[in-house]
Amino acid sequence: MRLEFGIGEGAQAVEIDPRNLLSVLTPNAVEIGLTGEEEVIRALNHPIGTPKLRDIVKPEEKIAIVTSDITRPMPTYAVMPALLDELYMAGVKPQDITLVFALGSHRPHTRAEMEKLAGLRAFTEIICVDGDSNDCVHLGQTAHGTPVDIVRVVAKADRRICLGNIEYHYFAGYSGGAKAIMPGVSTREAIQCNHSMMVRPEACAGNLEDNPVRQDLEEAIAFCGVDFILNVVLDEHKRIIKAVAGDVKQAHRVGCAFLDSLYCKEIKERADIVLVSQGGAPKDLNLYQTQKALDNAKHAVKDGGIIILIGSCREGLGERVFEEWMLTSPTPESMIERIKHDFQLGGHKAAAISMVLKKADIYLVSDMEPDFVRRIFLQPFAQVQTAYDAAIEELGSDATVIAMPYGGSTLPKLVVP
The per-residue pLDDT for range 328-370, each reduced to its tens digit, is: 999 999 999 999 888 887 899 999 999 999 999 999 999 999 9
The pTM (predicted TM-score) of the whole model is: 0.86
* Same domain assignment for residues 355 and 287: yes
For range 247-276, the mean pLDDT: 97
343 in Cβ contact with 191 (< 8 Å): yes
Q: Would residue 302 count as lying in a domain? A: yes
Q: Are residues 230 and 282 in the same domain?
A: no
**Does a structural domain hold residue 251?**
no
Examine the domain organization and report whether 136 and 280 are in the same domain.
no
User: Tens digits of per-residue pLDDT, 54-102?
Assistant: 999 999 999 999 999 887 789 999 999 999 999 999 999 999 999 999 9
Has residue 374 been placed in a domain?
Answer: yes
What's the rounded mean pLDDT across residues 276-281?
Answer: 92
Phi-psi region of 328 (alpha: psi -120 to 50; beta: other; left: phi over 0): alpha
- Name the amino acid, one letter, at 206: G
CA–CA dist 346, 323 (Å, integer): 8
Q: Give the CATH number for residue 13.
A: 3.90.226.30
Domain boundary among 234, 251, 276: 234
Q: Is the same domain home to 88 and 228?
A: yes
pLDDT at residue 340, as a whole number: 87
Task: Give a yes or no: residue 227 inside a domain.
Answer: yes
Last residue of some domain: 218, 234, 250? 234
Shared-domain flag, residues 21 and 103 = no
Question: In this structure, is residue 239 part of a structural domain?
Answer: no
Give domain status of residue 253, yes or no: no
Could you give the C-alpha distances from 50 to 92, 228, 229, 290, in angstroms and in order?
19, 8, 10, 39
Assess whether 121 and 203 both reside in one domain.
yes
pLDDT at residue 105 above 80?
no
> What's the confidence (pLDDT) of residue 414?
94
Q: Which of 409, 292, 294 is nearest to 26 (CA)?
A: 409
Convert the pLDDT of each residue in 142-180 to its tens digit. Answer: 999 999 999 999 999 999 999 999 999 989 999 999 999
State how far the alpha carbon of 30 is from the alpha carbons of 36, 37, 169, 216, 262, in Å.
17, 20, 21, 32, 6
Per-residue pLDDT band for 297 (boundaries 50, 70, 90) equals very high
- End residue of a domain, out of 234, 256, 285: 234
Q: Are 209 and 301 contained in the same domain?
A: no
Same domain, 288 and 372: yes
Q: Which among 276, 300, 272 has a CA at the least distance from the CA of 393?
A: 272
Q: What are the φ/ψ torsions at residue 147 (nearest 5 degrees)?
A: -70, 135
Q: How confident is the model at residue 319 (pLDDT cuts 50, 70, 90)?
A: confident
Same-domain pairing of 275 and 228 = no
Asked if residue 196 has pLDDT above 90, the reply is: no
pLDDT value of residue 103: 86
Specify the CATH number for the domain of residue 160: 3.40.50.11440
Say if 209 falls within a structural domain.
yes
In this predicted structure, the answer to whether residue 26 has a pLDDT above a threshold of 80 is yes
Q: Please indicate, yes or no, whether residues 10 and 83 belong to a single structural domain of this protein.
A: no
71-75, 401-405, 412-416: lowest mean pLDDT where?
71-75
**How many domains would you assign to the chain?**
2
* Dist. CA 315–CA 305, nearest whole Å: 28
pLDDT at residue 209, rounded to an integer: 87
How confident is residue 205, by pLDDT bands cut at 50, 70 and 90? Answer: very high
Domain that holds residue 331: 2-27+264-414
* Mean pLDDT for all residues in the chain: 94
For the chain, helix, strand, coil in percent to 5 are 35, 25, 40
Find residue 11's DSSP bridge partners.
Answer: 6
On whether both 221 and 312 belong to a single domain, the answer is: no
Say yes or no: 49 and 196 in one domain: yes
Residue 259 lies in a domain: no
